[in-house]
Amino acid sequence: MSEDFLKVALAAKEAAAELAPLPRAPKDAALRVIADALVAASAEIVEANALDVRRAVENGVSEYMVDRLRLDDARIASIAEAVRQVADLPDPVGEVVRGNTLPNGLELRQVRVPLGVIGIIYEGRPNVTVDAAALCLKSGNATLLRGSSSAYESNTVLVRVMQEALAGTEVPAGTVQLVPGTSRDSAKELMRARGLVDVLIPRGGASLINSVVEESTVPVIETGVGNCHVYVDADADVELAVQILLNSKVQRPSVCNAAETLLVHAAVADAFVPRALAALAAEGVTVHGDDRIAAYGDVVAAGEEDFRTEYLSLDIAAAVVDSLEEAVAHIRRYGSAHTEAIVTRSVGAARRFVSLVDSAAVAVNASTRFTDGGEFGFGAEIGISTQKLHARGPMGLPELTSTKWVYTGEGQLRTAQGTVLASTEACSR
Amino acid sequence: MSEDFLKVALAAKEAAAELAPLPRAPKDAALRVIADALVAASAEIVEANALDVRRAVENGVSEYMVDRLRLDDARIASIAEAVRQVADLPDPVGEVVRGNTLPNGLELRQVRVPLGVIGIIYEGRPNVTVDAAALCLKSGNATLLRGSSSAYESNTVLVRVMQEALAGTEVPAGTVQLVPGTSRDSAKELMRARGLVDVLIPRGGASLINSVVEESTVPVIETGVGNCHVYVDADADVELAVQILLNSKVQRPSVCNAAETLLVHAAVADAFVPRALAALAAEGVTVHGDDRIAAYGDVVAAGEEDFRTEYLSLDIAAAVVDSLEEAVAHIRRYGSAHTEAIVTRSVGAARRFVSLVDSAAVAVNASTRFTDGGEFGFGAEIGISTQKLHARGPMGLPELTSTKWVYTGEGQLRTAQGTVLASTEACSR
């Protein structure tokens, strides 16, 4: 482990210990100071960002990626506004999750506490630098940020501005740390920092997430890969199904909760597929269909690979199935366990689909696009977990916490016969 | 991956998919059938176990370890009784953890679902084979069991009896699987079975757990290492402190929630330490003390290593500290984040200690021995997690589950302006 990395990791760990017991007020105050400082430093941030943007353009990066990278005064103002919104959210730390008085008189409670140090590995969107730092700070955690090397100049200034802002608050300045350097080694150090980093959250595309999962010895929360399905049941309202399919596919094709595969029950195919193909074509969607879909119109022939693909574009794979169970088997085989929707009028079919599908979210007669922390009412999200441990689905502030058991007594001792009370000194209580 | 391993792993995965949607009644019925079958097969189990015991004795294994390995009719009856008790516990699957109707009319709920396939790696206690399988089955999970090679004959028969019992029930027989073979490679296959195994829980000593954490690519829940502390505050009731210390240390020294280190505030050392040393000596406890403890009596000199040690024996490390904060720093540096107790009459000190100590459990004026699923009222536990993700502290049945988000609507679509409802066919609803 390099000295540079160890220095920031230890600083984050020390800050995390100081930050954890802080109540809500000083954390909210610090977030507002950060928001003001970002706005005040707009010129400096834009200047640093221009270096990143110029290098990206020189390197022939696509206009879409350059746009994600670019910061201007308006974007900085909106980043700062998002920080103020995080300040307005309730603090998950200290929430009593469960609690009761045990038969032996011990008062037992399970209380939310921060995780500690959270590592974030992400791509070339500098807004994530501030967004992740703010969500972690609010939930009492220190952050080790490792953004794309393409945004290093921007991230360096953003983190410095946040640290300088914190220096005048009760929150330790070390709470927000940028992993130094832009080499792949610096990302690896973060992935191997078991004992220094409590959890690692990758935010980005499938290849980034897979490489973090493969290489990391720190516990990882996988986020975001969404090969989402819309299943149109035998009992579906055809018009409703067309609209839910369209909305799931085209409302924002580049995001993880967009639909990537359509499955249609054979009994409704005659009524549904022609209308669906026409509607998709009208929206410019290319359909990659199996033979039974192809019987209804012009589609690109779908190979097995299509059913595994998260297109994130105006493409959709499509197949006809003979039963709800076959649809579920398809989803289990090819899906990423993010979000699957069923369109049906049948209570029994809805109940069976919800029960059998093993995904983070299941939608009944609604668009897949609602699997989102904002839509669920969390106020903000750090990502959408597609794993089963710790957090599943949209992750809000409570998902950035752990818990601690506290039990309070008056001298309870455990014996083979049960609890006895210790005797105390005379007049001592 | 060997064909033998792949076969059982796939069988477990398939069984898990069938088992997950089952309601409580068939699972409870299957557990009772297993309990009866174990009792009926006592002779066969004892016979197989005798082979393991004979080999252990021939290999010069300690009498303590041989005793943990040994099964007789009475022990099998008590294992079966424990299975019946698991059947009596509430089913965590299907519990609605959170839920509300969103402003757009979507009915949102977060529901407990099984994790899927749980791998258990454990030592030479064949009762764990049945205990773990029963807890996993009750929570809707399939199990891949990998016990010590020293208990392989016993485990083989126990798993076969359970599988044969399940064959006559609604629970798939493949729900309980033994990892074939006794080589280290077979354990490694389990640790590397990412995608086939959802979580791995090691049950055993520190070296087993560390090797699983190091080598596993499957998510692991760390359990059980307990370097627990008793801190006697300046404001402690001295007699209460002596009794809590003694109970924490000697009531059952071999378990993870037994105390391993005593920390004493300097202000109470004169009053407390002589009485504590006398009481510990009377119970046969060897004290490994720092210089300031040594000033009060005959102790073994403690090196830094003593403060890191989970003795699991009638030994305790001991030091005098100058403040509560110094005690907390000591615990953070040397502890395993299992359970720490404070003895104090001061509300402020208790509050500060609870807030600053970052461990799975914190006890105030009570023995460390209460950190236990049974004592907490869980009915049974699969282990005590000392990590922060997913589960922390005693793990009952709910900790063997994940969750799934379900949202039900009537055609909700997401637009940039908010939710709109899809229009439906005439008379179709």
Specify the higher pLDDT residue, A57 or B427.
A57
Mean pLDDT of chain A: 95
% residues pLDDT > 90 (chain B): 88
Task: Tell me which residue has tokens 């990278």.
Answer: A69
A405/B415 touch (CB, cutoff 8 Å), yes or no? no
- The CATH number of residue A347's host domain is 3.40.309.10
Q: Are residues B204 and B242 in the same domain?
A: no
A429 — pLDDT class (breaks 50, 70, 90): very low
Asked if A375 lies within 8 A of B414 by C-beta distance, the reply is yes
Mutation site, B351, B359, B375, interface A, largest A CB count within 10 A: B375
Cβ contacts (< 8 Å) between B119 and chain A: which residues?
none
Alpha-carbon gap: B400 to the closest alpha carbon of chain A (Å): 9
Domain identity same for B214 and B272: no
Q: Are residues B278 and B198 part of one domain?
A: no
Tokens for B392, please give them.
């922390």
A151: domain CATH number is 3.40.605.10
Q: Tell me whether residue A362 is in a domain.
A: yes
Report yes or no on A293 lying in a domain: yes
Residues B252 and B363 in one domain: yes
CA distances from B41 to B80, B198, B356 (A): 11, 31, 52
Is residue A424 a part of any domain in this protein? no
Which pLDDT does position A425 carry in this prediction? 66
A-B C-beta contacts closer than 8 Å: 231
- Measured between beta carbons, which residues in chain A are less than 8 angstroms from residue B402? 388-389, 392
Residue A419 lies in a domain: no
Q: Which band of pLDDT confidence, cut at 50, 70 and 90, is reported for residue B425?
A: low
Domain membership of residue B378 (yes or no) is no
| Cβ-defined contact of A404 to B428 (cutoff 8 Å) | no
For A21, name the nearest residue in chain B, comparing CA atoms only: B355
Query: CB distance A411–B240 less than 8 Å?
Result: yes
Average pLDDT, stretch B291-314? 96
Integer Cα distance of B235 and B267 in angstroms? 8
Taking CB atoms and an 8 Å cutoff, what residues of chain B touch A378? Answer: none
Residue-wise pLDDT tens digits, A165-180:
999 999 999 999 999 9
Domain assignment of residue A107, yes or no? yes
Q: Whole domain around residue A197: which residue ranges? A: 3-222+394-404
Please check whether residues B251 and B206 belong to one and the same domain: no
- Residues A262, A347 within the same domain: yes
The answer to whether position A122 is within a domain reads yes
Asked if B50 and B189 sit in the same domain, the reply is yes
**Of residues B42 and B381, more confidently modeled:** B42
pLDDT of A412 above 70: yes
| Nearest-by-Cβ selection for A414 from B247, B332, B407 | B247
Q: Are A322 and A249 in a shared domain? A: yes
| Nearest-CA distance B281 → chain A (Å) | 19
How distant is the Cα of A21 from the closest Cα of chain B, in angstroms? Answer: 6
Asked whether residue A387 is assigned to any structural domain, the reply reads no
Given an 8 Å threshold on Cβ–Cβ distance, is A376 in contact with B108? yes
Interface ipTM above 0.95: no
Residues A124 and A110 in one domain: yes
What is the per-residue pLDDT across A211-255, written as a single tens digit (0 to 9) for each? 888 888 888 998 878 999 999 999 999 999 999 999 999 999 999
Q: Kindly state whether residues A273 and A399 are assigned to the same domain.
A: no
Minimal Cβ distance to A413: which of B243, B404, B422 = B243
Whether residues A204 and A305 fall in one domain: no
**Does residue B334 sit in the same domain as residue B245?**
yes
How many domains are there within chain A? 2
Which of A136, A324, A351, A355 should one mutate to test binding to chain B, selecting the residue with the greatest count of B CBs within 10 A? Answer: A355
Mean local confidence (pLDDT), B262-289: 98
Residue of B nearest to A236 (CA): B428
- pLDDT confidence of residue B379: 87
Interface test with B, best of A414, A425, A429 (most B CBs within 10 A): A414
